[in-house]
A = this chain, B = another copy of it.
Amino acid sequence: MTDRDSEAGAYAATPRTTLHRRKVRGRYDRATVHAILDEALVCHLGFVAGEQPFVMPTTFVREAESLFVHGAAGGRFLRSLAGGVPVCITVTLLDGLVLARSAFHHSMNYRSVVVLGTAHEITERAAKLHAMRCLVDKISPGRSAQARPPNEQELAATSIFAIPLEEVSAKVRSGPPLGEEDDMDRAIWAGVVPVSLAAGGPVPHEPLVAPYEEPVLPLGLRRL
Protein backbone atom coordinates (compact mmCIF):
# COMPACT_ATOMS: atom_id res chain seq x y z
CA MET A 1 0.00 0.00 0.00
CA THR A 2 1.48 3.34 -1.04
CA ASP A 3 0.90 6.66 0.66
CA ARG A 4 -1.52 7.57 -2.05
CA ASP A 5 -3.71 4.61 -1.06
CA SER A 6 -3.79 5.49 2.63
CA GLU A 7 -6.05 7.90 4.52
CA ALA A 8 -5.13 10.64 2.09
CA GLY A 9 -6.48 8.75 -0.92
CA ALA A 10 -9.97 8.23 -2.24
CA TYR A 11 -12.16 5.37 -3.43
CA ALA A 12 -12.89 5.36 -7.15
CA ALA A 13 -16.51 6.25 -7.84
CA THR A 14 -18.23 3.54 -9.89
CA PRO A 15 -21.53 3.72 -11.77
CA ARG A 16 -23.13 2.02 -8.76
CA THR A 17 -21.68 4.43 -6.19
CA THR A 18 -21.98 7.69 -8.12
CA LEU A 19 -24.73 9.93 -6.79
CA HIS A 20 -27.14 11.03 -9.50
CA ARG A 21 -28.85 13.64 -7.38
CA ARG A 22 -27.42 16.05 -4.80
CA LYS A 23 -23.91 15.17 -5.94
CA VAL A 24 -22.56 17.74 -3.50
CA ARG A 25 -23.37 15.31 -0.68
CA GLY A 26 -21.14 12.53 -2.08
CA ARG A 27 -17.79 11.79 -0.43
CA TYR A 28 -15.22 9.31 -1.67
CA ASP A 29 -12.16 10.19 0.41
CA ARG A 30 -10.91 7.49 2.73
CA ALA A 31 -10.63 9.78 5.75
CA THR A 32 -14.35 10.60 5.68
CA VAL A 33 -15.40 7.01 4.96
CA HIS A 34 -13.16 5.56 7.69
CA ALA A 35 -14.33 8.10 10.29
CA ILE A 36 -17.99 7.20 9.68
CA LEU A 37 -17.29 3.46 9.76
CA ASP A 38 -15.24 3.78 12.94
CA GLU A 39 -17.86 5.81 14.80
CA ALA A 40 -20.87 3.65 13.90
CA LEU A 41 -21.63 0.76 16.26
CA VAL A 42 -24.12 -1.04 14.02
CA CYS A 43 -24.29 -1.66 10.30
CA HIS A 44 -27.20 -2.86 8.17
CA LEU A 45 -26.16 -5.77 5.99
CA GLY A 46 -28.24 -6.48 2.90
CA PHE A 47 -28.20 -9.73 0.96
CA VAL A 48 -30.54 -11.50 -1.42
CA ALA A 49 -32.07 -14.92 -0.79
CA GLY A 50 -34.30 -16.11 -3.60
CA GLU A 51 -35.40 -12.78 -5.00
CA GLN A 52 -36.07 -11.30 -1.58
CA PRO A 53 -33.69 -8.75 -0.09
CA PHE A 54 -32.98 -9.10 3.62
CA VAL A 55 -31.47 -6.35 5.74
CA MET A 56 -30.01 -7.38 9.08
CA PRO A 57 -28.54 -5.13 11.76
CA THR A 58 -25.23 -6.38 13.09
CA THR A 59 -22.07 -5.22 14.81
CA PHE A 60 -18.99 -4.73 12.67
CA VAL A 61 -15.53 -3.26 12.74
CA ARG A 62 -13.23 -1.75 10.14
CA GLU A 63 -9.59 -2.71 10.00
CA ALA A 64 -7.49 -1.07 7.29
CA GLU A 65 -9.45 -1.69 4.08
CA SER A 66 -11.78 -4.43 5.34
CA LEU A 67 -14.93 -4.72 7.40
CA PHE A 68 -15.39 -7.71 9.72
CA VAL A 69 -18.81 -9.06 10.70
CA HIS A 70 -19.57 -12.11 12.77
CA GLY A 71 -22.41 -14.43 13.58
CA ALA A 72 -23.35 -17.90 14.67
CA ALA A 73 -21.75 -20.63 12.58
CA GLY A 74 -24.55 -22.36 10.72
CA GLY A 75 -26.99 -19.50 11.23
CA ARG A 76 -29.23 -18.66 8.30
CA PHE A 77 -27.85 -15.13 8.09
CA LEU A 78 -24.19 -16.01 7.65
CA ARG A 79 -24.88 -19.20 5.68
CA SER A 80 -26.30 -16.86 3.03
CA LEU A 81 -22.98 -15.00 2.89
CA ALA A 82 -20.82 -18.10 2.65
CA GLY A 83 -21.79 -18.68 -0.96
CA GLY A 84 -19.99 -15.52 -2.04
CA VAL A 85 -23.17 -13.59 -2.76
CA PRO A 86 -23.07 -9.83 -3.30
CA VAL A 87 -23.80 -7.80 -0.19
CA CYS A 88 -24.42 -4.18 0.66
CA ILE A 89 -23.32 -2.87 4.03
CA THR A 90 -24.78 0.49 5.01
CA VAL A 91 -23.83 2.54 8.03
CA THR A 92 -25.76 5.63 9.10
CA LEU A 93 -25.00 8.22 11.75
CA LEU A 94 -27.86 10.59 12.48
CA ASP A 95 -26.61 14.08 13.32
CA GLY A 96 -29.67 16.29 13.37
CA LEU A 97 -33.31 16.99 12.64
CA VAL A 98 -33.53 19.74 10.05
CA LEU A 99 -36.68 21.78 10.61
CA ALA A 100 -37.40 24.04 7.65
CA ARG A 101 -40.05 26.71 7.17
CA SER A 102 -41.73 24.60 4.46
CA ALA A 103 -42.76 20.94 4.76
CA PHE A 104 -40.81 20.15 1.59
CA HIS A 105 -37.43 21.26 2.93
CA HIS A 106 -37.57 19.23 6.15
CA SER A 107 -34.56 16.94 6.25
CA MET A 108 -32.03 15.17 8.43
CA ASN A 109 -28.35 15.81 8.93
CA TYR A 110 -26.51 12.52 8.66
CA ARG A 111 -23.33 10.78 7.57
CA SER A 112 -23.70 7.45 5.81
CA VAL A 113 -21.49 4.94 4.03
CA VAL A 114 -22.53 2.30 1.50
CA VAL A 115 -20.17 -0.61 0.81
CA LEU A 116 -20.86 -2.95 -2.10
CA GLY A 117 -18.92 -6.17 -2.25
CA THR A 118 -18.67 -9.85 -1.54
CA ALA A 119 -18.00 -11.36 1.86
CA HIS A 120 -15.47 -14.13 2.38
CA GLU A 121 -15.15 -16.22 5.48
CA ILE A 122 -12.03 -15.97 7.61
CA THR A 123 -11.14 -19.48 8.68
CA GLU A 124 -7.42 -19.22 9.44
CA ARG A 125 -7.15 -19.43 13.22
CA ALA A 126 -4.89 -16.45 13.98
CA ALA A 127 -6.72 -14.16 11.56
CA LYS A 128 -10.07 -15.23 12.99
CA LEU A 129 -8.97 -14.58 16.59
CA HIS A 130 -7.61 -11.20 15.52
CA ALA A 131 -10.92 -10.20 13.91
CA MET A 132 -12.80 -11.30 17.02
CA ARG A 133 -10.53 -9.11 19.17
CA CYS A 134 -11.20 -6.16 16.84
CA LEU A 135 -14.97 -6.69 17.19
CA VAL A 136 -14.77 -6.66 21.00
CA ASP A 137 -12.48 -3.62 21.07
CA LYS A 138 -14.87 -1.74 18.79
CA ILE A 139 -17.55 -1.61 21.48
CA SER A 140 -15.07 -0.92 24.29
CA PRO A 141 -11.48 -0.07 23.34
CA GLY A 142 -8.86 -2.25 25.03
CA ARG A 143 -11.39 -4.76 26.30
CA SER A 144 -10.14 -7.77 24.34
CA ALA A 145 -7.03 -7.74 26.56
CA GLN A 146 -9.23 -8.05 29.69
CA ALA A 147 -11.99 -10.45 28.68
CA ARG A 148 -11.45 -14.21 28.54
CA PRO A 149 -10.51 -15.11 24.95
CA PRO A 150 -12.70 -17.55 23.00
CA ASN A 151 -12.19 -21.22 23.80
CA GLU A 152 -12.21 -23.92 21.09
CA GLN A 153 -15.95 -24.44 21.30
CA GLU A 154 -16.71 -20.71 21.11
CA LEU A 155 -14.28 -20.29 18.23
CA ALA A 156 -16.02 -23.06 16.31
CA ALA A 157 -19.46 -21.61 17.07
CA THR A 158 -18.57 -18.25 15.52
CA SER A 159 -18.19 -17.41 11.85
CA ILE A 160 -16.26 -14.31 10.82
CA PHE A 161 -16.61 -12.69 7.41
CA ALA A 162 -14.54 -9.97 5.81
CA ILE A 163 -15.78 -7.52 3.18
CA PRO A 164 -13.14 -5.49 1.33
CA LEU A 165 -13.55 -1.71 1.09
CA GLU A 166 -13.37 -1.41 -2.68
CA GLU A 167 -16.67 -0.08 -4.00
CA VAL A 168 -17.47 2.48 -1.33
CA SER A 169 -19.17 5.84 -1.06
CA ALA A 170 -20.20 8.18 1.71
CA LYS A 171 -22.98 10.73 1.79
CA VAL A 172 -23.08 13.67 4.16
CA ARG A 173 -25.71 16.32 4.86
CA SER A 174 -24.90 19.03 7.37
CA GLY A 175 -25.88 22.58 8.10
CA PRO A 176 -29.10 24.57 8.36
CA PRO A 177 -32.39 24.03 6.54
CA LEU A 178 -32.72 25.05 2.92
CA GLY A 179 -35.74 27.05 1.87
CA GLU A 180 -37.36 29.53 -0.42
CA GLU A 181 -36.87 33.27 -0.04
CA ASP A 182 -40.65 33.69 0.09
CA ASP A 183 -40.87 31.56 3.23
CA MET A 184 -38.43 33.60 5.29
CA ASP A 185 -41.13 35.84 6.78
CA ARG A 186 -43.14 32.86 8.04
CA ALA A 187 -43.69 32.84 11.82
CA ILE A 188 -42.22 29.44 12.65
CA TRP A 189 -39.15 28.13 14.45
CA ALA A 190 -36.60 26.87 11.94
CA GLY A 191 -33.19 25.36 12.45
CA VAL A 192 -31.49 22.14 13.46
CA VAL A 193 -31.98 19.92 16.50
CA PRO A 194 -28.62 18.13 16.87
CA VAL A 195 -28.90 14.45 17.78
CA SER A 196 -26.30 11.86 18.64
CA LEU A 197 -25.99 8.50 20.28
CA ALA A 198 -25.21 8.96 23.96
CA ALA A 199 -24.31 6.68 26.85
CA GLY A 200 -25.98 6.60 30.24
CA GLY A 201 -24.32 5.46 33.44
CA PRO A 202 -22.92 1.91 33.27
CA VAL A 203 -25.01 -0.76 35.04
CA PRO A 204 -22.69 -3.33 36.66
CA HIS A 205 -23.52 -7.03 36.55
CA GLU A 206 -22.79 -8.03 40.16
CA PRO A 207 -20.81 -9.53 41.68
CA LEU A 208 -17.81 -7.76 40.15
CA VAL A 209 -14.36 -8.98 41.18
CA ALA A 210 -11.68 -6.33 41.80
CA PRO A 211 -9.35 -5.05 40.53
CA TYR A 212 -11.04 -3.92 37.34
CA GLU A 213 -11.01 -0.89 35.03
CA GLU A 214 -14.18 1.09 34.42
CA PRO A 215 -15.59 0.43 30.92
CA VAL A 216 -14.13 2.61 28.16
CA LEU A 217 -16.69 4.15 25.80
CA PRO A 218 -16.34 3.58 22.06
CA LEU A 219 -15.37 6.43 19.76
CA GLY A 220 -18.05 9.04 19.22
CA LEU A 221 -20.34 7.97 22.06
CA ARG A 222 -21.11 10.95 24.28
CA ARG A 223 -22.16 10.82 27.94
CA LEU A 224 -25.82 11.51 28.63
Chain A residues at the B interface, C-beta cutoff of 8 Å: 16, 20-21, 41-42, 44-48, 51-57, 59, 72, 75-76, 86-90, 92, 94, 97, 99-104, 106, 108, 110, 112, 114, 116, 132-133, 135-136, 139-140, 143-144, 146-151, 154, 157-158, 176-177, 183-205, 207-215, 217-218, 221-222, 224
Measured between C-beta atoms, what is the minimum distance from A140 to chain B in Å? 6
In contact, A197 and B194 (Cβ under 8 angstroms): no
Q: Which residues of B contact A114 (CB under 8 A)?
A: 54-56
A46-B46, A189-B208, A193-B199 given; name 6 further pairs at CB < 8 Å: A44-B57, A45-B55, A97-B139, A99-B143, A177-B205, A191-B208
Q: Which residues of B contact A57 (CB under 8 A)?
A: 44, 90, 92, 110, 112
Say yes or no: A55-B103 contact (C-beta < 8 A), given A21-B72, A195-B199, A202-B191: no
Q: Which residues of B contact A88 (CB under 8 A)?
A: 46, 52-55
Q: Which residues of B contact A102 (CB under 8 A)?
A: 147-150, 154
Chain B residue with Cβ nearest A89: B55
